[in-house]
A = this chain, B = another copy of it.
Amino acid sequence: MFMIMDKPIMNIVQDKYEQRSQRPATLARKTELAARLIDLADAAIDAAGVQELRARALAEAAGCSVGAIYSVFPDLDELILTVNGRTLDRIDAALAAAVLGCTTPMQQMERLASAYLNYAVDHRGHWSALFQHRMIGERPLPGWYATRLDLAFRHIEGPLQVLRPDLDEASRVQLARTVFSAVHGVVELGLSGKALSGTPETIGDQVQILVSAIAHGLAWKNRELK
Interface residues of A (CB under 8 A from B): 130-131, 149, 153, 174-175, 177-186, 188-190, 192, 194-196, 206, 209-210, 212-218, 220-221
Asked whether A131 lies within 8 Å of B194 as measured between CB atoms, the reply is yes
Q: Please indicate the chain B residues that have their CB under 8 angstroms from the CB of A177 in the complex.
A: 189, 195-196, 206
A216 touches B220 (CB 8 A): yes
User: Interface on chain A toward B: helix, strand, loop, or mixed SS?
Assistant: helix
Identify 9 new A-B residue pairs, CB closer than 8 A, beyond the known A175-B206, A179-B210, A213-B217.
A149-B195, A174-B196, A177-B195, A178-B209, A178-B210, A181-B195, A182-B182, A213-B214, A215-B217
B residues near A215, Cβ cutoff 8 Å: 217
CA distance A188 to B181 in the complex (A): 8
Q: Inside 8 A of A186's CB, which chain B residues have their CB?
A: 178, 181-182, 185
Given A213-B218, A217-B214, A217-B215, A190-B195 contact (CB < 8 Å) = no
Contact call B196/A178, Cβ cutoff below 8 A: yes
A183 to B213, CA, bound (A): 14
10 smallest CB-CB distances across A and B, nearest first, come from A185-B185, A213-B217, A217-B217, A182-B182, A216-B217, A181-B189, A178-B206, A181-B185, A181-B186, A216-B220
Residues of B within 8 A of A153 (CB): 195
Tell me if B183 and A182 are in contact (CB < 8 A): yes
Q: How far is the CA of A150 from the CA of B192 in the complex (A)?
A: 17
- Of A185, A189, A190, A215, most buried by chain B (CB within 10 Å of CB) is A185
C-alpha gap A214/B220 in the complex (Å): 11
Q: In the complex, what distance in Å separates the CA atom of A184 from the CA atom of B185?
A: 6
Contacts of A185 in B (CB 8 A): 181-186, 188-189
* Complex contacts, A180 vs chain B, CB 8 Å: 189, 195
Complexed CA–CA distance, A149 and B196 (Å): 11
Name the B residues within 8 Å of A194 (CB-CB). Answer: 130-131
Q: Compute how far the CA of A189 lies from the CA of B184 in the bound complex, rounded to whole angstroms.
A: 9
By a CB distance below 8 angstroms, the chain B residues around A130 are: 194
B residues less than 8 Å from A174 (CB atoms): 196, 206
